[in-house]
Structure 1
Amino acid sequence: MRKSFTLLLMLLLAIPGMAQKINDAYRLNIKRASSPIIIDGVMDEQAWADADVAKDFYMILPIDTSYAEVKTEVMMTYDDDKIYLLVINHHGEEGPYYVESLRRDFTFGKNDNFLLFMDTFDDQTNGFSFGANAAGAQWDGIMYGGGSVDLSWDNKWFSKVQNYPDKWVFEAAIPFKSIRYKKGIKEWGINFSRKDLKSTEKSSWAPVPRQFPSASLAYTGILVWDEAPPEPGMNVSVIPYVMGGMVKDNVRDLPSDYQNRVGVDAKIAVSSSLNLDLTVNPDFSQVEVDRQITNLDRFELFYPERRQFFLENGDLFASFGYETIRPFFSRRIGLNAPIQFGARLSGKINKDWRIGAMNMQTGKVSETNTPSQNYTVLAGQRRVGQRSNIGVIFVNRTNIGSIPTGGEGVENPITSYNRNAGLEYNLASSNGKWTGKAFYVKSFSPLASNESAVHAANIKYLGGNLIWEWKHEYVAPNYLAEVGYVPRNGYYRINPNASYLFFPKSKLILNHGPTVNTSLFYDMDMNQTDNITSLSYGVNFRSQSVLTAKYAYNHIILQQAFDPTNYSQFTLDAYTEHQWNSFGLEYVSKPQSLFTYTLSSQYGGYFADGERLNLAGELGYRFQPYVGLSITGNYNQIDLPEPWGNTKFWLVGPRVDVTFTNTLFFTAFGQYNEQINNINLNTRFQWRFKPASDLYLVYTDNYVPAPFYVKNRTLALKFTYWWTL
């Protein structure tokens, strides 16, 4: 396995990364505005008449070998404070536009939309995205990894959409203070993406091959400034909040707890590309609760970070490692203890270097014997070649002050410290077809010093028809990442996977083809413990509906006792052997319909020679653009020998989204989870009275289903105001 790691690392380093930018010939000149601009969706200013026009978009889907049939025109200009954008989205066919709602950060594939992707550092790796759907709902996100967009990022900008019989017009103003960019450069990477559901066409200004997302920064054209973008000057934003609320805990029979909290965040631009974030007594009560799932897994589940403070340049910290080997996972901070204050410095110091430094302090919680803790994370990336980089990370959690013991004779389970240090290489070829990673991380803890490292590597090829990947992992038995996400220890893993797509000349089918994925796990003596192999065949229709057939083979030797229902008090013994097959179907309807649905099924064997049936689906109906109704359902029937017998689980989640305007939202949803015997109700009202300034009213209940009994209840009213100095 160590030889495999070395060979794969050599292959990663051997793939060339230096090349001329692919779409270097696609250039849009941006000139200083010749007149003031009002953001109203009307092209009546002289500045737009004088601006250059980006047009003649290229089709990405359904084919990527011709110009787009749906016409789009884009103009850009600027003044001392803002970048301005005006887009004319011509209709390709008669009929109404298709949108989900006026909800911010809409689903890309379910809306007629226009998106802007800006590589403000000209490194083809990091940037910003802004856009809107045809009804005027805003989209904004921070870009990382060469083409991924984190829509949890939120900032201050302005836009307006106007609809006409033959087109819809999107006009926007993006303050220089809301983005980060390299000082002094006169060329930014840029691309524009258009999604038109009536024609099922996706297109871009600078051509992008169909196997890549339109957000791919490797395929951006160039925005050519007539002079270097102005320095934003003093760029300080102060974001105070005031929150009042009530918490009632009936399970512990506690009296109502009335809470009044005040806190503040601040964003300070150290330079045009380096930002300092500060927070004191933060509150995240407005963050939407996690969607529950029926948990039949042997290991801890992963839920993504949604808190704003951790998001800008969050990939510097969070993308180190793999999905299941993360030395740092920000949701560990403040999970069981309040955050008192924190600071985070992140961004670019020049074209080749990105840095990140974070320090967070949490308070003591006597009820759970949790001491005050300090978290420090240091990260850095050095560009290698055109798009690859070498990264380092250091993560430290340290107890502060005395450690509660929990009473006489009771040991506190929290160690005095835990540290991780790591090095990784990220490959991204200039054309985006080759990507990969190799990394090594060592943990340090009072519990263990030997056999406490991980190493892993992968290489992936993304061609027009063929996609394949080779991956392997090693996690030592004593590796410990208390501020990370590593659900499994003490294994080797080999994970090859491949897929092939056929593109027929058909008016019905866009593409179809097989995918095979194999995960082989071994213990420290190289005895195989898991073989999880899946084979699927997918058909993507031109209407954008998808049909997939699936087969899976599982052979598992349990390494520890496990309850196959995650519900009963009975477990299968460690080192018992289990083997089964399963089959499934999934269908996703076309997004253009007002009524949409997803249906899936799986039937086959299970642990202990049992059987499992899973039926899942989601139904949705929209009264566009104001109301969206949906309900998700998941049913599991597990037949096992005694003492488990027959077990049935329902997970049902109805949801109502009302978007009165693109600044006034109401969401209500419920979750009935039979596995954990809980009903959760959550409602949230949000009024964005000014850009990035909000008033929230959030109400949450948790119930025991039968008898219907309130376990706990929370009500919070929160006011935030974004004040730019």
Structure 2
Amino acid sequence: SMKKFPFTLILFALILQLNAQKKNESFRINIRKTNLPIKIDGIADDEAWEGTDVAKDFFMVTPMDTDKATDKSEIRMTYDDTNIYLIATFYNSVPGSYFVESLRRDFSFNKNDNFLLFLDPFNNQTTGFTFGSNAAGAQWDGTMFAGGSVDLNWDSKWISEVTQDEEKWIFEMALPFKSIRYEDGVKEWGINFSRLHLASSEKSSWTPIPRQFPTASLAYTGVLVWDEAPPTPRFNFSLIPYALGQTTYDLDGNTDYETKVGGDVKISLSSSLNLDLTINPDFSQVEVDRQVTNLDRFELFFPERRQFFLENADLFANFGYESIRPFFSRRIGLGIPINAGLRLSGNLGEKWRLGVMDIQTAKNEETGLPSQNFGVISLQRQVFSRSTIGLLFVNKQSTNYPQDNDSLRTIYPKFNRNLGLEYNLASPDNLWNGKAFLLKSFTPDKQGNGITQAANIEYKSRKWNWGIKEEYVDSTYTAEVGFVPRKGYFNFNTFVGHLFFPKSGPVVSHGPVGILNYYFDENFRETDHQNILQYLINFRNRSSISLEGLNEYVQLLAPFDPTGTGKDSLATGTKHRWNAFRFEYNSRPQSMFTYSGSGRYGGYYEEGTRISLTGELGYRFQPYVSLSSNISYNNIRLPVPWNTTEFWLIGSEVDITFTNKLFFATLFQYNEQSKNFNLNSRLQWRYKPASDLFLVYTNNELLAPFEGRVWSITLKLTYWFNK
């Protein structure tokens, strides 16, 4: 029956697609061309705004989606041969100042009074662009994928201004046509507008959206109707060179000076397809990873932060599940230089999307690591109203070995390849979502020629949320450029949740969630499970509480140190059972002082006990300074030889935004478990749109009994030349 599950999912998907009518087709706003000048100053006094259509009468989405928004919002749009123009006015009936976190670009959605525009130029309800601002003028922009997910790592050239008084705030923007991708000759785009008003705890939308979905959900967009087709896109070429100088110093007194140049080239091959080239890329300005307490038996996932790999990343990185990724870009170029790379990505017409990536890394004479080429091809076809079928091919090829011998070819195989096919289900009303995929790996010795298959389906209405998932990963499946921390198992997971909605009082919703998660080996013998009973409470002021009980069982598949500190390991095959209790609380984001806390108390391996406490505090002097700190404490009590083990993880961050173009951030982290201290400080000046000057200081130190310290300071300049 497990093998039939993916086919059952696809059959069910066909039935769900019978009603493919766009939900908010009747919400239409006309945009007409103007020949009058518009000054982007946040003041609605330009003659060009007279006579434009007005998008108003917004619908409330949260706390409840049964009424119109309390406060009035008005959106107007027009365009000329170069830009799309938008002006938005947001009235404020609740006295007091606006809530903003900082002036930093791509702010946290839930912590700011904000306005967001969602554009679907292909009207396919799956991909698009988002732009917006908070009430202090910090910009937001990103690409959209998978029907409502947003990638904020994408930056483009556009301008905006915000003005405000006690009664209202006004946002005005000019978006160049060449900054986005769209199909030539199309006169209807998908569009929606979203507002978050924290004083009234209301999120609202121009079109009606069920509260369980984000306002970014492209299934619920209205229609932007052009009086004539937007201008035919012209050739667009951008050159973004960089130059840097860096000084590095280690504990042994060695000092290293380095200068480096390189850059990126962006070329618009068509109105919807973009080619990106990078030569000798540098990522020294990228934030360091957030340290975590590691008590997991398998490899931990750390997100990609390097810009080149992030734009249109969904075409490559979203194939599979979080725990089964055939492509994971952090396998490329960490600890070894990248010589060059290219990425071709975008839309091929209304239904097709293409992604091609090729990266060449250098060799390392000391370790024997050869030069390696990483190639990825992703092709995606939209089917029915919003679902997609995807094909992925990943190739890692080793060339130019420093020494040509068999041992190096064993350590660094000649190649590793993955081929995958995936179906993504998204119903027209977004209530049903799911996925089914099949992966096959190829290696030179055929010992890594395994398969993986998985499928899931989820239903999400206002009151009910349930889903079921199965996975199978062959013990011989090999993805050297992927993230597959566990192999040789079957997994079955199911959950069901229900929400109750009180008619009045401080609680907006509450309800239980039950989760069953079981693992079996390839002979269908159970190896571990986790059963969870959870209760969620959401308050009208946007704070929340979660309470849950856990029942866990583990049969170890390999030796494991339960403290993660290098002490003795439990033996393979030993069995462990325990129960535990967890809680989490998040305060209301409107407060200047915010806080959250979570904890765990209960059993652990070898009849032991584990106590974990985590807290996070934040304070902001809006809109310029945001302070935050987090602290984590673990106390593990086990029999001899482990006895009692306790360790702390402490982090603190200072984020100063002098203006919406000048930023300073410092992150300090101390991890007692891994005996590591690090400091990362970064000053960024965006002196022109998409052009930056960075000054970065890093200090990483290993504490006793380990030894090692490296600090560096980097000055980096980038400039965006546009043609």
TM-score tier (shorter):
over 0.9
Check if 1:532 corresponds to 2:568. Answer: no
Q: Which residue of 2 aligns with 1:510?
A: 508
Check if 1:662 corresponds to 2:660. Answer: yes
Q: Which residue of 2 aligns with 1:478?
A: 476
Distance 1:231 1:241 in 2: 31
Distance 2:469 2:486 in 1: 17
- Conserved in 2, the CA contact under 8 Å of 1:369 and 1:405? no
Q: Secondary structure at the match of 1:495?
A: strand
Cα deviations by residue, 1:500-543 (Å, 9 ceiling, x for unpaired): 11111123111001111221000000001111111110110001
Amino acid at match of 1:570: D
Distance 1:21 1:411 in 2: 54
Count of residue pairs brought into register by the alignment: 722
Q: Which residue of 2 aligns with 1:615?
A: 613
Q: Which residue of 2 aligns with 1:568?
A: 566
- Conserved in 1, the CA contact under 8 Å of 2:700 and 2:711? yes
Moved more, 517-526 or 567-576: 567-576
Cα deviations by residue, 1:173-200 (Å, 9 ceiling, x for unpaired): 1111111111111111000000000000
Deviation of residue 17 (structure 1)? Answer: 5.6
Alignment of 1:265-344 (within 5 A): 265-344=264-343
Distance 1:415 1:65 in 2: 59
Distance 1:3 1:361 in 2: 41
Cα deviations by residue, 1:570-590 (Å, 9 ceiling, x for unpaired): 211111101111102211111
Amino acid at match of 2:207: A
Q: Which residue of 2 aligns with 1:122?
A: 123
Seen in structure 2, the aligned counterparts of structure 1 residues 46 and 357 have a Cα distance that, compared at 3 Å, is: same
Distance 2:330 2:456 in 1: 26
Deviation of residue 114 (structure 1)? Answer: 0.4
Q: Which residue of 2 aligns with 1:30?
A: 31
- Conserved in 1, the CA contact under 8 Å of 2:368 and 2:408? no
Deviation of residue 450 (structure 1)? Answer: 6.7
- Conserved in 2, the CA contact under 8 Å of 1:18 and 1:385? no
Distance 2:419 2:181 in 1: 28
Distance 1:478 1:689 in 2: 52
Seen in structure 2, the aligned counterparts of structure 1 residues 580 and 123 have a Cα distance that, compared at 3 Å, is: same
Moved more, 9-18 or 598-607: 9-18
Seen in structure 2, the aligned counterparts of structure 1 residues 163 and 409 have a Cα distance that, compared at 3 Å, is: closer
Amino acid at match of 1:454: T
Cα deviations by residue, 1:347-378 (Å, 9 ceiling, x for unpaired): 11111111111111000122332110001101
- Conserved in 2, the CA contact under 8 Å of 1:590 and 1:596? yes
Q: Which residue of 2 aligns with 1:625?
A: 623
Amino acid at match of 2:606: A
Distance 1:255 1:242 in 2: 24
Seen in structure 2, the aligned counterparts of structure 1 residues 577 and 344 have a Cα distance that, compared at 3 Å, is: same
Q: Which residue of 2 aligns with 1:542?
A: 540
Deviation of residue 412 (structure 1)? Answer: 5.2
- Conserved in 1, the CA contact under 8 Å of 2:442 and 2:448? no
Distance 1:451 1:300 in 2: 22
Q: TM-score, normalised by structure 2?
A: 0.98
Amino acid at match of 2:482: G
Deviation of residue 476 (structure 1)? Answer: 0.1
Distance 1:447 1:210 in 2: 52
Distance 2:498 2:317 in 1: 31
Seen in structure 2, the aligned counterparts of structure 1 residues 451 and 492 have a Cα distance that, compared at 3 Å, is: farther
Deviation of residue 151 (structure 1)? Answer: 1.2
- Conserved in 2, the CA contact under 8 Å of 1:405 and 1:412? no
Deviation of residue 625 (structure 1)? Answer: 0.6
Moved more, 305-314 or 645-654: 305-314
Distance 2:253 2:473 in 1: 43
Seen in structure 2, the aligned counterparts of structure 1 residues 404 and 590 have a Cα distance that, compared at 3 Å, is: farther
Which runs of structure 1 show a deviation greater than 6 angstroms over 4 or more consecutive aligned residues?
408-411, 707-710
Alignment of 1:231-242 (within 5 A): 231-242=232-243
Distance 1:325 1:709 in 2: 35
Q: Which residue of 2 aligns with 1:359?
A: 358
Q: Which residue of 1 aligns with 2:72?
A: 71
Q: Which residue of 1 aligns with 2:257?
A: 258
Q: Which residue of 1 aligns with 2:692?
A: 694
Deviation of residue 411 (structure 1)? Answer: 7.0
Unaligned runs of 5+ in 1: none
Q: Which residue of 2 aligns with 1:674?
A: 672
Q: Secondary structure at the match of 1:701?
A: strand
Q: Which residue of 1 aligns with 2:247?
A: 246
Amino acid at match of 1:415: P
Alignment of 1:424-573 (within 5 A): 424-449=422-447, 452-573=450-571
Q: Secondary structure at the match of 1:637?
A: strand
Deviation of residue 709 (structure 1)? Answer: 7.5
Q: Which residue of 2 aligns with 1:638?
A: 636
Deviation of residue 405 (structure 1)? Answer: 7.1
Deviation of residue 553 (structure 1)? Answer: 1.1
Deviation of residue 645 (structure 1)? Answer: 1.4
- Conserved in 2, the CA contact under 8 Å of 1:370 and 1:404? no
Seen in structure 2, the aligned counterparts of structure 1 residues 448 and 554 have a Cα distance that, compared at 3 Å, is: farther
Q: TM-score, normalised by structure 1?
A: 0.97
Deviation of residue 635 (structure 1)? Answer: 0.6
Distance 2:448 2:401 in 1: 27
Deviation of residue 409 (structure 1)? Answer: 7.0
Q: Secondary structure at the match of 1:331?
A: helix
Seen in structure 2, the aligned counterparts of structure 1 residues 94 and 708 have a Cα distance that, compared at 3 Å, is: farther
- Conserved in 1, the CA contact under 8 Å of 2:441 and 2:448? no
Distance 1:527 1:264 in 2: 53
Deviation of residue 702 (structure 1)? Answer: 1.1
Amino acid at match of 2:496: A
Deviation of residue 84 (structure 1)? Answer: 1.1
Alignment of 1:1-16 (within 5 A): 1-16=2-17
Seen in structure 2, the aligned counterparts of structure 1 residues 374 and 451 have a Cα distance that, compared at 3 Å, is: closer
Seen in structure 2, the aligned counterparts of structure 1 residues 238 and 5 have a Cα distance that, compared at 3 Å, is: same
- Conserved in 1, the CA contact under 8 Å of 2:241 and 2:261? yes
Q: Which residue of 1 aligns with 2:397?
A: 398
